[in-house]
Structure 1
Amino acid sequence: MQTQEQIAAPSALERRIDVIVALADVEREVEQRLKRMSKTVKMAGFRPGKVPFKMVAQTYGEQTRSEAIGAALDHAFGEKVREQKLRVAGYPRIEPKPTANDSQLEFSAVFEVYPEVVLGDVSAREIEKQTLVVGDVEVDKTIEALRKQRVTYAAAARPAQKEDRVVIDFLGRLDGTEFPGGKADDFALVLGAGRMLPDFEKGVEGISAGEKRTIDVNFPEDYNNKELAGKTAQFEITCKSVEATQLPPIDAEFARQLGIADGDVAKMRSEVRANLEREVNKRLQQKIKTSVMEILLDVTPVDVPKSLVESESRQMAEQMVRDMEARGMSAKGMPPLDPALFIEPAIRRVKLGLIFAELVKARELHARPEQVKTVVEDFAATFEDPKEVVRWYYSQPQRLAEAEALAVENNVVEWVLATAKTREVPAIFDELMGNAA
């Protein structure tokens, strides 16, 4: 895999083309542009189209000449690229060259080309396909998770145990001295949730309302506060209340909370099963897709143009900011995200994009309209009004392009699965859904 340092080094894909622009051609283009401009340009004291040509040239001549040189450069560069049948990646860097010829301008265009992608052989590789049939056990576990999301608490006249919520005051000292962040009042802690250090939670277990105790808490060596890392602090704990979890019963009210208007529990279970089957299938497909991509990257080494990686890393940084804002976090006042932080995943994306493009062309894996429609309909099925979502997709070219890209990705995955060896293994539900202890 290419590192950030390798990306910064001179690229094997870099090319240089010398371009000559005749000054006579530039001057003719400048004159034509200024003449066209003089027909509509507005200046104080003159009617539109009546501004003297000399004044137009004085005001806009430098800008127009720069535009004309740029257009001439683009034209000359394009012709050279077509002559040499080069596929340019990104934009060229233009460097002026000294010349003794007063009738022309000379430049060097430095740019990168797309690499030649030689597809590797996947036929000898084995892909593990996880399988899982959603049954009553999985539905019950999912409903239990939904109940826990709606948990309430009630006062318990007993010592605190795991999953209880305790409300405590605490004061921490290190070598007898209070330290910043080591004090809180009316702090609500759910035991076993992992919100506090293990020693702290273990020291609170078994406490009763009204009880006070002092506990030792060992801070790990890699603790983010270096003043506390690797040290042992003493905490004075005062318990104000112990509350036990109260899970809602599986009844009509619970079903209505899950969107079943008539409160039918059997219908609720059916809906949960259908949603769970969709989610399980989605996660299984994602695991297979990840395995396919790893194999393609492994069997098809490919150089990546620096310009494409830099562009991709900038887009990833911008997307991260948009995601933060979508979650309600304001990016105002924050320093801009450095695109260099995304170099490694950007390299991976660019490599996969190049490999996918070559594979789609070589194996004719383009998305068919019915495949794009299936992708859109599958996504829309999770919404209350699927038909409206489908209409929205087809009215937004950018959204439809995303669906098409996903359909192409699916075609690539299916082709690799049909070409490589596969082995089915049962998936573990809790691991697949992220519920493992």
Structure 2
Amino acid sequence: MATAVETLGKLERRITISFPLTDVRTEVEKRLKVQARTAKAPGFRPGKVPLKMVAAQYGYQIESEVLNDKVGRAFNDAANENNLRVAGFPNIVPKEEAAEGQLAFDATFEVYPEVAIGDLTAVEIETVQADVSEAEIDKTIDILRKQRVHFHTKGEAGEHGDGGESIAANGDRVTVDFVGAIDGVEFPGGKAEGYAFVLGEGRMLPEFEAATLGLKVGEAKTFPLSFPEDYHGKDVAGKTASFTITLQKLEWAHLPEVDAEFAKSLGVADGDLAKMREDIKVNLQREVAGRVKARNKEAVMDALIKVAELEVPKTLIAQDSERLAEMTRQDMAQRGMNVKDVPFPAELFAEKAERRVRLGLILSQLVGDNNLQATPEQVKAQIEDFAQSYEDPREVLKYYYSDRRRLGEIEALVLEENVVTYVLGLSKVTTKAVAFDELMGSNAQA
């Protein structure tokens, strides 16, 4: 049996559960007899072990299972009888005072909140849009050329020319020996031979690159270099060192010509440059559409958080914080990082978890009230859209439809898009054009 529901806070509730001790003992004995049918012990045939020995070996485990089953069943029955929507898991502890012959437990838990969503027609939302121009296509081609760069010795005649005057300039790849000292003493990490880098890419500190510019092969230069206060090498951070560099090798960057061979290297079989540009444009438009969708969805979610009133169950925040911490650990491990002994306190993720849980409750309310569930047709269309960028779209369809969990991820994505469309259809929307570079540099996350 269960007592009446006690209200401890806005969402916190408590129920006291009790049942006769004899019920537990009867069920334990019943399960022990079942266990005895297959129990094994030295000197006894299977199934012939004395019940006392079975009880000594399995009694504690079986009693715990019986108690968990009975308490869990009683709690669920009480929650259903009282029409309670329990958020997360209850905290169940034995009650010190119980009637004679009874076992009693206090179950403390939270319930799902009421979600009050304000007037969406009064909400103002700024969305963004961006276009892909010929300039963006040209920039992308330049990036693709740089990814396929070849370096040739500077100043030597050859198939690709000499690359200009034999002095180090931005864009050249230089190979240097260097040695650094602070107060006349060399320091760890301050010396290298045959170290190569491209001038102008910012891999080295500005003073180092500036000193390398203008050198010829075989020339050396000594110069002061001040390490920043926040430099990753703590032993030298904030200090000034004297460096000597010697240029050992100088190469100029030969970018491939934008011709049929270049187009073929990008997957255009016949080398047609117009087809290549069209393919690049389509890919950029797909990327832009994804970024725009993410930015606009984030704007809608921000607006919903402001317009909705609800209490967020602490239990759900704690559970999601733990989930985010574990996801972070797994992600870092997959990237090859040793995180075995690294602590991941769940409280570090509490703010993000609170937002996720809050939005989940708001979206659930909107979906239920306005029938915004994902339809099978929408789910299939979304998967097909994903599949366009893959070589074999059929494999992508198979990948999602063969796993219910993966399919659920797509359904959740479509559901969110349904909510975004619904909210934008009601609210006061203004649209701002953003530059391509600004959009591609943004890290908007849904």
TM-score by length of 1: 0.89
Which among 322, 338, 341 is matched to residue 331 of structure 1?
338
1:306 alignment partner AA:
K
What residue in structure 1 maps to residue 316 of structure 2? 308
Which among 78, 81, 102 is matched to residue 80 of structure 1?
78
Distance 1:333 1:365 in 2: 43
Give the RMSD, CA atoms, in angstroms: 2.4
With over 3 angstroms needed to count, the CA separation of the structure-2 counterparts of 1:319 and 1:11, relative to structure 1, is farther
What residue in structure 2 maps to residue 284 of structure 1? 292
Determine if contact 1:14/1:110 at 8 Å carries over to the other structure: yes
SS of 1:223 mapped into structure 2 = coil
With over 3 angstroms needed to count, the CA separation of the structure-2 counterparts of 1:46 and 1:104, relative to structure 1, is same
Q: 1:199: how far off?
A: 2.8
What residue in structure 1 maps to residue 330 of structure 2? 322
Which among 97, 100, 103 is matched to residue 101 of structure 2?
103
Deviations 1:201-228 (A, max 9, x none): 2332233222211222222333344443
Q: 1:418: how far off?
A: 1.1
What residue in structure 2 maps to residue 210 of structure 1? 218
Distance 1:398 1:19 in 2: 36
Q: 1:255: how far off?
A: 2.2
What residue in structure 2 maps to residue 237 of structure 1? 245
Distance 1:421 1:24 in 2: 65
Show structure 2 runs of 5+ residues with no match: 1-7, 156-165
Determine if contact 1:99/1:105 at 8 Å carries over to the other structure: no
Distance 2:363 2:210 in 1: 52
Distance 2:406 2:94 in 1: 42
Determine if contact 2:98/2:104 at 8 Å carries over to the other structure: no
Distance 2:296 2:436 in 1: 16
Which among 162, 177, 192 is matched to residue 184 of structure 1?
192
With over 3 angstroms needed to count, the CA separation of the structure-2 counterparts of 1:100 and 1:375, relative to structure 1, is closer
With over 3 angstroms needed to count, the CA separation of the structure-2 counterparts of 1:215 and 1:13, relative to structure 1, is farther
Deviations 1:276-315 (A, max 9, x none): 1111111111111111112122222443323322222222
SS of 2:441 mapped into structure 1 = coil
Which among 133, 141, 151 is matched to residue 135 of structure 1?
133
Determine if contact 1:167/1:189 at 8 Å carries over to the other structure: yes
1:341 aligns with 2:339: no
Which range moves more in the overlay, 167-176 or 215-224? 215-224
1:251 aligns with 2:259: yes
Q: 1:354: how far off?
A: 1.5
Which range moves more in the overlay, 409-418 or 291-300? 291-300
Q: 1:137: how far off?
A: 2.4
What residue in structure 2 maps to residue 4 of structure 1? none
What residue in structure 2 maps to residue 413 of structure 1? 420
Deviations 1:97-136 (A, max 9, x none): 2125330122212222222222233433332322223233
SS of 1:384 mapped into structure 2 = coil
SS of 1:377 mapped into structure 2 = helix
Q: 1:365: how far off?
A: 1.1
Q: 1:421: how far off?
A: 1.7
Q: 1:48: how far off?
A: 4.2
1:217 alignment partner AA:
L
What residue in structure 1 maps to residue 206 of structure 2? 198
What residue in structure 2 maps to residue 431 of structure 1? 438
Q: 1:338: how far off?
A: 3.3
Q: 1:44: how far off?
A: 4.4
With over 3 angstroms needed to count, the CA separation of the structure-2 counterparts of 1:244 and 1:78, relative to structure 1, is same
What residue in structure 1 maps to residue 398 of structure 2? 391
SS of 1:123 mapped into structure 2 = helix
Determine if contact 1:112/1:307 at 8 Å carries over to the other structure: yes
With over 3 angstroms needed to count, the CA separation of the structure-2 counterparts of 1:276 and 1:100, relative to structure 1, is closer
Distance 1:359 1:191 in 2: 55
Distance 2:390 2:331 in 1: 21
Which among 21, 24, 27 is matched to residue 23 of structure 1?
21
What residue in structure 2 maps to residue 3 of structure 1? none
With over 3 angstroms needed to count, the CA separation of the structure-2 counterparts of 1:44 and 1:381, relative to structure 1, is farther
SS of 1:266 mapped into structure 2 = helix
2:178 alignment partner AA:
F
Distance 1:201 1:352 in 2: 49
Q: 1:385: how far off?
A: 0.3
Distance 2:120 2:146 in 1: 45
Show structure 1 runs of 5+ residues with no match: 1-9
Q: 1:22: how far off?
A: 1.6
Q: 1:340: how far off?
A: 3.1
Identity of aligned residues (%): 50
SS of 2:121 mapped into structure 1 = coil
1:169 aligns with 2:189: no
1:31 alignment partner AA:
E
Distance 2:354 2:225 in 1: 43
What residue in structure 2 maps to residue 7 of structure 1? none
With over 3 angstroms needed to count, the CA separation of the structure-2 counterparts of 1:376 and 1:214, relative to structure 1, is same
Distance 1:163 1:316 in 2: 42
With over 3 angstroms needed to count, the CA separation of the structure-2 counterparts of 1:268 and 1:176, relative to structure 1, is same
The size of the alignment, in residue pairs, is: 425
What residue in structure 1 maps to residue 3 of structure 2? none
Determine if contact 2:130/2:439 at 8 Å carries over to the other structure: no
SS of 2:122 mapped into structure 1 = coil
Q: 1:43: how far off?
A: 4.1
2:399 alignment partner AA:
W
With over 3 angstroms needed to count, the CA separation of the structure-2 counterparts of 1:93 and 1:100, relative to structure 1, is closer
Runs of 4+ in 1 over 6 A off after TM superposition: none
Distance 2:260 2:330 in 1: 39
With over 3 angstroms needed to count, the CA separation of the structure-2 counterparts of 1:237 and 1:82, relative to structure 1, is same
With over 3 angstroms needed to count, the CA separation of the structure-2 counterparts of 1:169 and 1:122, relative to structure 1, is farther
Distance 1:253 1:160 in 2: 30
Deviations 1:146-203 (A, max 9, x none): 1111222222233222222211122222233322222222111222222222232233
SS of 1:433 mapped into structure 2 = helix
Distance 2:441 2:215 in 1: 31
Determine if contact 1:159/1:207 at 8 Å carries over to the other structure: yes
Deviations 1:60-111 (A, max 9, x none): 2222111111111112211222233222222122222212533012221222
What residue in structure 2 maps to residue 145 of structure 1? 143
SS of 1:307 mapped into structure 2 = helix
1:121 aligns with 2:119: yes
1:106 alignment partner AA:
A
